[in-house]
Homo-oligomer: A and B are copies of this chain.
Amino acid sequence: MDFELRILGSSSATPSANRHHTAQVLTIGNQYHLIDCGEGTQMQLMQYKIKHQRICNIYISHLHGDHYFGLAGLLSTMHLQGRLTPLHLFGPPGLSEILSLQFKYSGTNLSFPLIFHELDTAYHKKIFEDKQITVHTIPMEHRVPCCGFVFREKPKPRPLIKEKLSGFLTPPQLVRLKWGEDIKDEQGNIIVRNQDVTQEPKRSRSYAYCSDSRYKPELLPYLRGVDLLYHEATFLDDMRERATYTFHSTALQAAELAAAAKVRHLLLGHFSVRYKDLTPLLLEAMSVFPHVDLATEGSIFCITEQ
C-alpha cells in the first residue's frame, strides 16, 4: 500500500514567484488526505495531475490565509465538476462559518455532503479512524488556534508461515495467530506458539505534520519515532528571536526536535520569502540531525513498509 507525501507549497505567508502557500497531499492506499490548502492549491493539484476526486479528507491546521485561502475554490471546483462523494473537513472553529458565508453569497449549494469536524486545537485527540489509519491532532503554539496532525497506520497482522502450520487449526484460531496470540487448549496449555508459526508484521508507518508553531519541546511525546516529520522552519537560527516573537521556528529548532524525538526523517518547510537559496536552512538542520530534506514544491517522499 502506498504511503506517500507530495508537497504542493513551501512558502510562508508572503509568497514568492516560485513558491506556493502550504498544501500537502498524503496518499494512503488509494485515498488522498489533503493537509492545509493555501491559495492556488487547486492549480497545484492540476500541475501534478493529482485528481481532487480522490481526496477523502481535508485537514486545515489554522485560519491564517496561507493555510486555507485555496479551500473555498477547491470545494467550488469539486461542486462544479459534480462530486457526489462525501468529503470530511477537519478545521478550527470559524472555518465552517467562513465557508457558509462565502457559499451563501455565491448561491452555492454543494453537490456533495461536506462533513465538518470542528477541531479543538489545544489537545492531542483522535479525530479520524478507518480500517488502516488513525489521525490525531497535535497542539501547536501559534498566534491563533492551530494544530498539527499525526497519521499512523494501525498495527498490521503477522504473516503466517504456511509450511509450519498443521491442518487442525480453525479459521478463528488462524486470525488469533495473525494478531499475535498463542493457541491454547481447553486447559490453557499452549499448543501452538505464535512465534513458531508467524513472522514479524510489516511496519506501521507514520507521518507527523507540524504546522506553524513556536519551538515547542512539549510536542515530543506525540512525535516520538515517527517515520517522517514535517516541521516548519520559517527562519534560520540567527533570527531565533524573530521566530519566537512571530510564533515560528528555526531550522535548527526543527532539527533539535527531530533528533530528540528520534524520528527517521525530517522535512523542513514554510520558508520565509527572504531566503532565495534554501541550502543554509538545510545545512543548519543537518548540523544536528542528518536525515533532512527540504519540502519544496513537487517533491515526493515515500515511506516504505520495510
Residues of A within 8 A of B (CB): 13-17, 20-21, 39-40, 42-43, 46-47, 63-66, 69-70, 72-73, 76-77, 80-81, 92, 94-95, 97-98, 101-102, 104-107, 143-144
Residues of B contacting A15 in the complex (Cβ-Cβ under 8 angstroms): 42-43, 46, 77
Residues in B whose Cβ lies below 8 Å from that of A92: 105
List of B residues within 8 angstroms of A144 by Cβ: 105-107
Contact with A102, one of B21, B81, B98, B105 (Cβ below 8 angstroms): B98
Measured between alpha carbons, how far is A98 from B43 in the docked complex, in Å? Answer: 23
Complex contacts, A13 vs chain B, CB 8 Å = 76-77, 80
> CA of A81 to CA of B92 in the docked complex: distance in angstroms?
26
On chain B, the residues within 8 Å of A17 by CB distance are 43, 46-47
Closest 6 CB pairs of A and B: A94-B105, A63-B105, A39-B73, A17-B46, A69-B73, A40-B40
Q: How many copies of this chain does one complex carry? A: 2
* Contact in complex: B65, A106 (CB < 8 Å): yes
- A13–chain B nearest beta-carbon distance, Å: 6
- Nearest Cβ in chain B — how far from A273, in angstroms? 9
Residues of B within 8 A of A143 (CB): 107
CB distance from A86 to the nearest CB of B (A): 21
**Which of B76, B80, B81, B98 contacts A105 (CB under 8 A)?**
B98
25 A-B pairs in the complex with CB atoms less than 8 angstroms apart: A14-B77, A14-B80, A14-B81, A15-B42, A15-B43, A15-B77, A16-B46, A39-B42, A39-B43, A39-B69, A39-B70, A39-B73, A40-B40, A40-B43, A63-B105, A63-B106, A69-B72, A92-B105, A94-B104, A97-B101, A98-B102, A101-B101, A105-B144, A106-B144, A107-B144
A73 partner residues in chain B, CB cutoff 8 A? 21, 39, 65-66, 69
Closest chain B CB from A201 CB (angstroms): 41
The answer to whether B76 and A65 touch across the interface, beta carbons within 8 angstroms, is yes
CB distance from A110 to the nearest CB of B (A): 12
Q: Which residues does chain B contribute within 8 Å of A63, judged by CB atoms?
A: 102, 105-106
Nearest Cβ in chain B — how far from A290, in angstroms? 34
Q: How far is the CB of A4 from chain B (nearest CB, A)?
A: 22
- Which chain B residues lie closer than 8 Å to A95 at the CB level? 105
- List the B side residues contacting A64 at CB < 8 Å: 106
Which residues of chain B are within 8 angstroms of A102 by Cβ–Cβ distance?
Answer: 63, 65, 98
A102 vs B62: C-alpha distance in the bound complex, in angstroms? 12
